[in-house]
Amino acid sequence: MYYIRKIVLLLGLIYSETFFAQENLIGYFQPKIALNYKVANNFKQNFALGQRTYIFENEAIAFRVRQLDLVHFSNLKIKDNQSIAFGIQYRFRENFEADKQNELRLTQQYNFTFNPRIVRYGHRFRSEQRITSDLTIYRFRYRFTLDLPLQGEQLDIGETYFIGNLETLLSVAKRNLPEYDQRFTVNIGWLLKEKTKLQTGVEYRFEDYTHTTSSVFFILTSLILAL
């Protein structure tokens, strides 16, 4: 797919230029392992374990664990291309940064996709409650996704695929100004086996861009298993 290669190259150039032009920049390495379990034809469960490690902080290279996340989602398909889901996540931060708090996160989600040709498009709407001992933050998220196989019209074992995301977020809480974030994500994946995928990619975030903008980039890796 010639035009997809062009998009990936362009995004890579934008990221590299932007990373080193920013002063208020933080970089992370974020690996994740996920397990999908199909309970019934229209119901599945997802379990994930993720870690976030600093690799660039205060204009210097840094290798320090920031957090550990345990995540569970229950997903119910309500139509062939539509689903609703409920998620619960616990984030361990106190173990790694003494001045931070652990977080309980509850998520409600609606997702629908359409697949006119080989490219699949998806729209995801989420509401979240991020709960710590001091504060509850209410967050609202919209994500647009496109994905497609990079070899042929369908994904076969041993072949690669592309996923691109564009996500907008609004966070509100008592005594705090509303915060708007924007995220751009690109992943390349491989179908290693019938039920095993490996993904790697990059994500760039503009956080609180209407007030004090900070820039955050991620190097992402994911191993996705299915039962």
Going by pLDDT thresholds of 50, 70 and 90, the confidence category of residue 50 is very high
pTM of the model: 0.88
pLDDT digits (tens, 9 = 90+) for 91-137: 999 999 999 999 999 999 999 999 888 899 999 999 999 999 999 99
Mean pLDDT score of the chain = 90
pLDDT beyond 60 at 2: no
pLDDT digits (tens, 9 = 90+) for 65-74: 999 999 999 9
pLDDT digits (tens, 9 = 90+) for 8-41: 454 444 455 445 455 678 999 999 999 999 999 9
Task: Give me the mean pLDDT over the 163-171 stretch.
Answer: 97
Q: DSSP of 64-132, one letter per residue?
A: EEEEEEEEEEEEEEEETTEEEEEEEEEEE-TTT-TTS--EEEEEEEEEEEE-SSS-EEEEEEEEEEEE-
Distances from the Cα of 37 to the Cα of 34, 73, 195, 226, angstroms = 10, 10, 11, 6
Classify residue 158 as left (phi > 0), alpha (psi -120 to 50) or beta: left
Query: What percent of the chain is helix, strand and coil (3-state, nearest 5)?
Result: 10, 65, 25
Distance of CA 135 to the CA centre of its chain: 23
Identify the CATH homologous superfamily for domain 2-226.
monomeric porin ompg (2.40.160.40)
Domain boundaries, the chain: 2-226
pLDDT digits (tens, 9 = 90+) for 176-202: 899 999 999 999 999 999 999 999 999
Residue 143's nearest CA partner among 205, 91, 220 is 205
pLDDT beyond 80 at 139: yes
pLDDT digits (tens, 9 = 90+) for 59-93: 788 899 999 999 999 999 999 999 999 999 999 99
Find tokens 């290279």 and name the residue: 61
